Chain A
Amino acid sequence: MNGTIAVALDLLRESISRRWFLALGAAITLVLVFLGLALRLDVVDGALAATRLFGTALDNDIRSVDVALRPVFEAAADAIFYGGLAFGVLACADFGPSLLAPGRIEHLLALPVRRHELLAGTYLGVLLLACAGALYGAGGLALILGAKTGVWTLRPLAAALLAAVTFTAIYGAMLAAAVFARSSALSAAVGAALFVCGIVAGYRDELLAAFEPGVGREAFAGITLVLPRVSALARTAADIAASRPVDLAVVAAMLAGVFAFGFAMLALAVWRFEGRDF
């Protein structure tokens, strides 16, 4: 088995036995079970006639069921995006430093695995973990609402995948911080800072207009140019989930930026890791 894949699968196995991820899995499952059992949607001729939660009717106009579900999917996309990113920053901050812990890294480096495979495997494992969590939540929601209304859509899944990809770009920087300092706290701090700065970077164009021309404006433009546009990607994910039209060229450009940022951070981490003594 390829070293990178073996390391990634080991990370997935280890995460299954960690409390953070057990709690996330249980929480998602509880929400899905709650929706599955407590929510009743009456659909008549393709229109949502009534909505009942625990048997109590909710006020809503009669309208096409796919239109009625759009705000639900949009809210779910926002929750998965921001909630997932915040959770990921906290829960995954320890993966890098625990891999590099004294007594463990020597053992791993003495095995027939290349150094870059260890980091790439950790990165891939986190990517798979983020995708699995996002797809479980969004897929479960789409499945339950699809079964209740007959409206089947993959849009929530696409929105969730966008969140997972955005997180892995942030995780690239967290991993690089871990390689430089072997600290879970610093790794989490870098992730949190990028999360907040990424939200700001998503409003880059609007905020730039508020700056006076000068060094400050150029500095802001320069810094936000390279950061992942977290809030813009979150808006795009919500638009996709809510079946609103999106500019594919803009989405592709943002995704390219996210991938470039993530891989640049991973390359930085690998460069430092390759040259470091443990």
Chain B
Amino acid sequence: MSSRTAAFLFPPSAAIVWYGIIWIGHLSPTVLPPPHLVVALMAQEWQSLLWNTYVTLTTAVIGYFFANVVAISMAVAFLYSDALKSLATPWVVVLKNLPIISVASLLIISFGDSPVPRILVVILICFHPILANLIKGFEQVDPNLIARFQTLHASRFQLFRYVLWPNALPYYAAAHEVAFTSSIVAAVLAEFFFSRQGLGFMLTQAMNDYRGDRLWATNIIIAILSAAALGLSILAERVLIPWQPKGNKSLGKAGS
């Protein structure tokens, strides 16, 4: 079966499993609302859901943009300065390994109720997979190719433009599969802790109100956004990197 068919089969099978669990466990709608009630709520509250989706997406996209800027700048700087790489490594390691919840609490104290701490949370979560993959892409260049370009007296800029950057591109594209999806999760997480709008805020409200249907509706939207982010990343990879050997799509995964 093709992965496309499997993807199309997923929503109906999820609904069947969902109904099945309610039927087997004799669960009341307050414990687990059935799909048709959740869909009804989505139809009823679509304006509020759409607005909050817009808020979350904005945070995710802005944060993701800056995560890319930070990661690309760092990777290129590290490529040309070993000293900078050594100096920055402890920072990167600490930032990457701090529990994001504790960092988030520090950020809200410093920045208050503004979009800044939420965007910073997205940057903190997303920059590392991009940085790690770019560094790997620069390191995995064929040394013979660099040697050949040196015998042609290529400038540093030519070497970067024609050899290093194209070599890192598949790794960069593979990073988006991880990092772009994470940006949605990161934005929701940030809103969950400190926000008066966005899907994360909707989750906290629905929890406080014991509104299972609204909770489920929000979660479905988050799942759709994450899946769309993944799909977009894979599509961009196919379009932008036509020279990638087939069946070697995950070549650039350096992990997060």
A binds B: no
